[in-house]
Chain A
Amino acid sequence: MANLVGAKIERKEDKKFLTGKGRYTADINLSKQTYAYFVRSPHARAKIIKVDHSKAMKAPGVIDVFTGDSVVKDKIGGLICGWKIVSQDGKDMKCPPHPVLAKDSVNFVGDHIAVVVAETLEQAKNAAELVNVSYKVQKSVTRTDEATKFENIHEGIDNNLSFDFLLGDKGKTDEAFSKADKIVKVDIVNNRLIPNAMEPRAAIGDYNASSDELTLYTASQNPHLDRLIMSAFNAVHPEHKFRIVSPDVGGGFGSKINVYAEDVVIAYASKKIGRPVKWVAERSESFMSDNHGRDHVTHAELALNSDSKITGLKVDTIANLGAYSLVLAAVTPTYLYAPLLLGIYDIPAACCTVKGVYTNTAPTDAYRGAGRPEATYVIERIVTEAAKEIGMDQAEFRKKNFIKKFPHQQCLVHNIDSGDYDAHLDKAIELSDYKNFENRRSQSAKKGKLRGIGFSTYFEACGVAPSAVVMSIGSGVGLWESAEVRFNATGNVSVFTGAHSHGQSHDTTFAQIVGDKLGVAIENIDIVHGDTDKGPFGMGTYGSRSLAVGGTAIVKACDKIIAKGKKVAAKMLDGKPEDIDFKAGEFILKNSNKKKTIGEIAFACYLPGTFGDVNSPLPEGVEPGLIETSFFDPSNFSFPSGSHICEVEVDEETGETKLVKYTVVDDFGTVINPLIVEGQVYGGVAQGVGQALYENAHYDKSGQLTSASYMDYTMPRADNFPHIALDYTCTPATSNPLGAKGCGEAGTIAAPAAVMNAVIDAVGTDVQMPATAEKVWKALKKNGSKKAAA
């Protein structure tokens, strides 16, 4: 059988998705189902004086209305922050209470206050208009850089400061700066983004009073974690009687990691009324209430010596947590961010502070890349400025400062196991025809366009897992992954993974791994995920961890299958287990032509026989069945890296930026399926370009979200892109047997810096993201462009 790993195999899941046969939460309809609609705050900040739902209760079709009082009475717990950060002064971060239905105050437009459950959706919506909430409206703050100066929005949280985090050696860094020959400074705004998964969030609660079983269908990236949190912290239902199903999920990008108020409330409401309750977010609800991403304000400084070597890095960031702190809200701008600021450069001293602040905006949390795009943006912007200021070629300056030897212990946190940074940069330079860039620049000038080029040489820490590490820095749980490989008696295989696919193509990638490992045809392998009743507890999918961690758990379970298979084969072939070789699906007795296929062994393990036949094929002490479970907890993160080179053309009259050339060379370690990886990179780059040029969550002075629909929130579209040239280099990861490093977020991590470096190169002066036409036009005008001023 040809190798499956490394082959461009078309996605097994394409058939259902491309023919509209996917089954998402909204596609599920249960008998006697009711519909929920949430009453949300129209104000950015207000005290709730009274929630009067008497009129709504009497409206046609209404079954019940639940409010903040109901959940308090029934002791439903509030939403949690799952990763605790400790401030410089040794104190724990401050988290305000985050009730699933607000009782006393609301803190952002879209904050959840009550839910109406009715026979039809229209009736629920009509009745929701009758819920009368009296507010005492208060002043609000939305801007990241104004939060600490504003009055306290949560009681007892002074200066709206959740934490003041420090990473690195301040003394050593100050010393490096005092000795520096040159100091480069940048001020950066990392714009707030709205994840915009294609499938909006949705939930159906289904409680069966006779068996006391509660099922929640919800669009989640991590159903097992959801169940754990909802049982342990929200007290919705005991874990053993609680099933969570996340069927097909149409994109997550981090926005479906959290247990949201709606999940808890829908499950609770179903228990209260004893019927299924369905809720599907409208797009405007997604804009308002999905976790947002990014939203940093940063000042950074880089110290250089006279030999053009980087000697120190200082970064001060304010990160906007929004109104409350969600599950990964605090770790995203701290441990997922600060260590990554070093990039792939050999920097001997660094120190970074991060102030996490509360504002009257939607809570922020992990969004594709989570901390790493923000960090990469800082280091790649400042490295670009440094090269420019000292008049050195961008590629040459980078190479001069790249880490060259591995493993490399960085001065902040990470110990990078492998990489070859010159290799991917050289390949990208070649592929992008860098040497002829100046020709292209003058060609563009002839058409009246300003052309610019931008580099982004990135790395990231993927495979969020090493439990010992993550728990020592505040995670509330270890982040290992599980797998169960189950041979059915007829020789086909069901693989249960704790990871969850919502666009990552696990059905195909994981099947390729199992197919090679066990010598089973890919059609005979089924990957099962997304149901807490099927398969062991697992941690879910985020942080480009599924392959490196979840894939490895599968490999380990396969190894156990093979080990058991050898014992059984030995007995059946009259040999010793150590004399059995396993290759391409066959157990072969050394120095003989005796062999059994893995299908035959599986069949034998289930003890087939005729009546009265007592001859078991199983050796003494070996249990029947061929099912193995494995849990994998790696020793380290994995560290993909790569080089992006972007070229843009800027129209001097309108300020519009057009992407004209884009090149990517990634080192993802072992690539299982290049077709799928390409898809991940294209999508990732598109999202990164979206951040750089188009996307922006905008709150006005009164705290209204003015970019709450596709009329105003600009998503990148196909016609915004040129062909993206892709290639790979490979240094395998050493922290997992697959050698895989992770590819799901890389594009989003590297692209914003590549694009903005190109825009700034074209414009000749600083521009902040998103580089909208008007912003670029203003920058051009300020910079003396005659055409822009005309």
Chain B
Amino acid sequence: MKSFNFKSAANTKEATKLASGRATFLAGGMSLIPAMKLRLAAYSDLINIKKIKGLSGIKVSSKSLKIGATTTHAEVAASKEVGKSIPSLSMLADGIGDPQVRNRGTIGGSIANNDPAADYPSACLALNATIHTNKRKISSDKFFKGMFETDLKKGELIEAVEFEIPEKSAYAKYPNPASRYAIVGVNVAKYKNETRVSVTGAASCVFRSKELESALSSNFSVSAIDKVNISDKNLNEDIHASAEYRAHLIKVMAKKAVSSC
């Protein structure tokens, strides 16, 4: 790791002011620090945002669940409010990494990082989330742009993620046996007027599966998935899974999610 300055921000304003030039935000550090240790990334300053009051915490209303950016995966997994309103989200948080990672990693960091195999981005897309930043509100459909790429501008800080509470939802993850990130993760959420299905791990960026959504919107059942044809075009290929296998797993995980809804 190359040397850097460490600064703690007291509030959002200070944080965004400090995050100029070759500086960046530091939340749980579970993605940023490994990248710096491997010298894949280097920064002049890290701006710690964990001390900012009001950036962490969970609020539920009748329609939505709002989670502060620095809320850890462990806090989400343990939260009664989350468990009651969107149980699939507690399960998802509980399945991220290991206890150390869950105790440090944050929802804001996970989404800002947008790892193609991360779990939270799939929840944002399926649960029609709105990303609140210090500047604006971004719909999750517009937020995830590509591999490790989001709609965030330089110095823009995520403050909270607001999920729309579904009738029912489930997340099924087929973990990479080595890293235990998703080889394929399918997130299904059923709303009154639509069913949203997102897929992580399978391509360069999390995406919504139109095929699965239309099949499940007309008939929310496992058998509806049987008839869906998932193309392996544009899916990832690596030493753990071919595109063909990933396409197959998308269906298997979708069925698993629907049957546990």
Among A125, A654, A694, A698, max chain B CB count under 10 A is at: A654
- Whether A774 lies near B3 (C-beta < 8 A) is no
Tell me, rounded to whole Å, the shortest Cβ–Cβ distance linking B233 to chain A.
18
Tell me, rounded to whole Å, the shortest Cβ–Cβ distance linking B160 to chain A.
30
Tell me, rounded to whole Å, the shortest Cβ–Cβ distance linking B259 to chain A.
12
- Whether B252 lies near A653 (C-beta < 8 A) is yes
A126-B2, A713-B178, A714-B177 known; A654 vs B239 contact (CB < 8 Å): no
Any chain A CB within 8 A of the CB of B248? yes
> What residue of chain B has the Cβ atom nearest to residue A120's Cβ?
B3
> What residue of chain B has the Cβ atom nearest to residue A770's Cβ?
B177
**Using Cβ atoms and an 8 Å threshold, which residues of chain B touch A126?**
2
Any chain A CB within 8 A of the CB of B196? no
Among A284, A711, A713, max chain B CB count under 10 A is at: A711
A122-B2, A654-B252, A777-B248 known; A707 vs B239 contact (CB < 8 Å): yes
Q: How far is the CA of A125 from the CA of B248 in the complex (A)?
A: 44
> What residue of chain B has the Cβ atom nearest to residue A694's Cβ?
B177
**Using Cβ atoms and an 8 Å threshold, which residues of chain A touch B241?**
774
Any chain A CB within 8 A of the CB of B220? no
Contact string against B for A residues 101-121, beta-carbon threshold 8 Å, 1 for contact and 0 otherwise: 000000000000000000000
- Whether A712 lies near B252 (C-beta < 8 A) is no
> What residue of chain A has the Cβ atom nearest to residue B253's Cβ?
A654
**Using Cβ atoms and an 8 Å threshold, which residues of chain A touch B226?**
790
Any chain B CB within 8 A of the CB of A429? no
Tell me, rounded to whole Å, the shortest Cβ–Cβ distance linking A32 to chain B.
22
Any chain A CB within 8 A of the CB of B191? no
- Within B243-257, the residues touching A (CB, 8 Å) are 245, 248-249, 251-252
Q: How far is the CA of A777 from the CA of B226 in the complex (A)?
A: 18
**Using Cβ atoms and an 8 Å threshold, which residues of chain A touch B240?**
712, 772, 774
Interface size on A, as a range, is 20 to 34
- Within A701-747, the residues touching B (CB, 8 Å) are 706-707, 710-715
Tell me, rounded to whole Å, the shortest Cβ–Cβ distance linking A320 to chain B.
18
- Whether B2 lies near A654 (C-beta < 8 A) is no
**Using Cβ atoms and an 8 Å threshold, which residues of chain B touch A790?**
226, 251
Q: How many residues on chain B are close to A (CB under 8 Å)?
A: 22
**Using Cβ atoms and an 8 Å threshold, which residues of chain B touch A63?**
none
Q: How far is the CA of A147 from the CA of B174 in the complex (A)?
A: 36
- Whether A712 lies near B178 (C-beta < 8 A) is yes
Query: A710's contact among B2, B39, B178, by CB below 8 Å, is which?
Result: B178
**Using Cβ atoms and an 8 Å threshold, which residues of chain B touch A130?**
none
**Using Cβ atoms and an 8 Å threshold, which residues of chain A touch B20?**
none
**Using Cβ atoms and an 8 Å threshold, which residues of chain B touch A714?**
177-178
- Whether B174 lies near A654 (C-beta < 8 A) is yes
- Whether B177 lies near A773 (C-beta < 8 A) is yes
Tell me, rounded to whole Å, the shortest Cβ–Cβ distance linking A529 to chain B.
34
**Using Cβ atoms and an 8 Å threshold, which residues of chain B touch A122?**
1-3
Tell me, rounded to whole Å, the shortest Cβ–Cβ distance linking B214 to chain A.
19
**Using Cβ atoms and an 8 Å threshold, which residues of chain B touch A284?**
38
Any chain A CB within 8 A of the CB of B61? no
Any chain A CB within 8 A of the CB of B44? no
Any chain A CB within 8 A of the CB of B100? no
> What residue of chain A has the Cβ atom nearest to residue B98's Cβ?
A717
Tell me, rounded to whole Å, the shortest Cβ–Cβ distance linking B201 to chain A.
13
- Whether A712 lies near B179 (C-beta < 8 A) is yes
Q: How far is the CA of A773 from the CA of B252 in the complex (A)?
A: 13
Tell me, rounded to whole Å, the shortest Cβ–Cβ distance linking A165 to chain B.
32
Contact string against A for B residues 155-187, beta-carbon threshold 8 Å, 1 for contact and 0 otherwise: 000000000000000000010111101000000
**Using Cβ atoms and an 8 Å threshold, which residues of chain B touch A653?**
252
- Whether A774 lies near B245 (C-beta < 8 A) is yes
- Whether B2 lies near A772 (C-beta < 8 A) is no
Tell me, rounded to whole Å, the shortest Cβ–Cβ distance linking A746 to chain B.
25
> What residue of chain A has the Cβ atom nearest to residue B38's Cβ?
A284
Q: How far is the CA of A772 from the CA of B249 in the complex (A)?
A: 14
Any chain A CB within 8 A of the CB of B242? yes
**Using Cβ atoms and an 8 Å threshold, which residues of chain B touch A707?**
178, 239
Query: B239's contact among A706, A773, A778, by CB below 8 Å, is which?
Result: A706
> What residue of chain A has the Cβ atom nearest to residue B178's Cβ?
A714
Q: How far is the CA of A696 from the CA of B177 in the complex (A)?
A: 12
- Within A262-297, the residues touching B (CB, 8 Å) are 284
Q: How far is the CA of A715 from the CA of B180 in the complex (A)?
A: 11
Tell me, rounded to whole Å, the shortest Cβ–Cβ distance linking A674 to chain B.
32
- Whether B239 lies near A712 (C-beta < 8 A) is yes
Tell me, rounded to whole Å, the shortest Cβ–Cβ distance linking A216 to chain B.
27
Q: How far is the CA of A710 from the CA of B240 in the complex (A)?
A: 13
Q: How far is the CA of A126 from the CA of B2 in the complex (A)?
A: 8
Q: How far is the CA of A778 from the CA of B177 in the complex (A)?
A: 17
> What residue of chain A has the Cβ atom nearest to residue B255's Cβ?
A653
Tell me, rounded to whole Å, the shortest Cβ–Cβ distance linking A109 to chain B.
15
Tell me, rounded to whole Å, the shortest Cβ–Cβ distance linking B24 to chain A.
20
- Whether B178 lies near A774 (C-beta < 8 A) is no
Listed from nearest, the 10 A-B pairs whose CB atoms lie closest are: A714-B178, A711-B179, A714-B177, A774-B245, A653-B252, A698-B239, A712-B178, A706-B239, A774-B241, A654-B252
- Could you list some 24 contacts between A and B, CB below 8 A? A122-B1, A125-B39, A126-B2, A653-B252, A654-B252, A696-B239, A706-B238, A706-B239, A707-B178, A710-B178, A711-B179, A711-B181, A712-B179, A712-B238, A712-B240, A713-B178, A714-B177, A714-B178, A715-B178, A774-B240, A774-B241, A774-B242, A790-B226, A790-B251
Q: A125-B39, A654-B252, A774-B242 are in contact. List 18 more A-B contacts (CB 8 A).
A: A122-B3, A654-B249, A694-B177, A696-B239, A707-B178, A707-B239, A710-B179, A711-B178, A712-B178, A712-B179, A712-B239, A712-B240, A713-B178, A715-B178, A772-B240, A777-B245, A778-B245, A790-B251
